[in-house]
Amino acid sequence: MAIVKEEKAERILKKRELKKTPVRHIVLQALIESPSALSQHEIEKKFVQHFDRITLYRTLRLFEEKGVVHRIYNSFGEAKYAICSEGCHEHAHSDHHVHFNCLKCKGTFCINEVHIPSFQLPKGFSPIHYNFSIEGLCKNCE
């Protein structure tokens, strides 16, 4: 399992032409391994001995720009990060799936199985970013 996770992290970095640095590799592995999306604070808590806050902040920003991770806001207004789907590119995210926010454990989950159908907005409205989220209890809290 550990090897799979490591290989996946390496493959993602290579695909986006990102140099492999220890921070990038560690953060990516943490996100791959986690069943739910992680906030900057949650990642920070795990690796506080490895790197500082600013480095982590910059890494997440870069990942987001490069189409490696996408940002989701949960019901509490907290930003969470999750690994992107294969179709994402630099400055072009295509994570058109539903996000589930658990009210009990506060976990945010990508529900890749549920795709958001295409929709028509009224004239004069052009979407730039959209986020469909469902609130409730996750499978661990039910």
Residue numbers at the binding site for Zn ion (CB under 5 A): 70, 82, 84, 88, 93, 95, 102, 104-105, 107, 110, 138, 141
Query: Contact 109/36 with Cβ under 8 angstroms?
Result: yes
> Using CA atoms, how far apart are residues 41 and 55, in angstroms rounded to an integer?
13
**Helix segments in 16-126, DSSP class H:** 22-33, 40-46, 53-65
> Using CA atoms, how far apart are residues 27 and 59, in angstroms rounded to an integer?
8
Of 22 and 35, CB closest to Zn ion: 35
Of 113 and 124, CB closest to Zn ion: 113
Min dist CB 65 to Zn ion, Å, is: 11
Of 56 and 88, CB closest to Zn ion: 88
Min dist CB 87 to Zn ion, Å, is: 8
